[in-house]
């Protein structure tokens, strides 16, 4: 449970480390960009898991959760 909470906090504070949206919070990266990664493969490791989580949140209209956690 504590790991899930920390993962949520880490994802909320994570910024895209490279590419067109470098420096933008993952929750604020446009949905189309996240969907492109979903279709072509998320990066390996923690970033990929975070992007997959953001994809699921965006798919369900819940990305505001990350903004609230960040605030």
Residue range 22-56, pLDDT digits in tens: 999 999 999 999 999 999 999 999 999 999 999 99
pLDDT for the residue 42: 96
CA–CA gap between residue 7 and residue 56 (Å, rounded): 14
Count the residues in the chain: 71
pLDDT for the residue 63: 86
Q: What number of CA atoms fall less than 13 Å from residue 20's CA on the CB side?
A: 8
> 18: helix, coil or strand?
coil
Alpha carbon distances (Å) from 3 to 6, 31, 50 = 5, 26, 13
CA–CA gap between residue 1 and residue 12 (Å, rounded): 17
């Amino acid at each position: 449970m504590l790991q899930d909470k920390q993962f949520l906090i880490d994802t909320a504070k994570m910024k895209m480390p490279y590419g067109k949206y470098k420096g933008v919070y993952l929750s604020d990266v446009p949905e189309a960009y996240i969907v492109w990664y979903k279709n072509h493969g998320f990066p390996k490791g923690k970033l990929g898991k975070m992007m997959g989580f953001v994809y699921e949140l965006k798919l369900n209209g819940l990305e505001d959760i990350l903004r609230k956690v960040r605030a």
